[in-house]
Amino acid sequence: MSLVGTHSGERAEKSSYDAAKPPRRKILFLALAVTGTLVAWGVLVYAAIDFGREARSGEPTAWAFLVLSTVGGAACLFVTLLLGARALTLLQGPQAPARPQGGRRASR
């Protein structure tokens, strides 16, 4: 008896847990990077407050350090947000592509 053209084979069952397993090393690296940039942001904000206090008391070079620490703090916070968003997308797992709206008529 020939089984050509029929669906009579054994099914290979894939666990949905195995298919959606997030890459742990990448998530760990991103978590450490987020923590590091967040700590750097806190240090730079603290330094900016200190340099602002010195600049108001008449120290001329403190203004340059105040500007540098402020720009560095903003950059660190921006990188922290980018890395955090990347880590969240990895934790969520693969998403199904969006289905186009309409039907056959809309795709013409």
Tokens 């602002």 appear where? Answer: 52
Count of the separate structural domains present in the chain:
1
Q: pLDDT by residue (tens digit) across 54-107? A: 999 999 899 999 999 999 999 999 999 999 999 999 988 877 777 777 777 766
* pLDDT tens, residue by residue, 11-24: 655 555 555 677 89
pTM: 0.69
Decide if 26 is inside a domain. no
Please report whether residue 106 resides in a domain.
Answer: no
Q: Tell me the residue type at 5.
A: G
Domain presence at residue 58: yes
Distance CA 107, CA 96 (A): 19
Give the end-to-end CA distance of the chain in Å, rounded to a whole number.
45
24-56 and 61-92 helices, crossing angle to 10°: 160
23 within a domain of the structure (yes/no): no
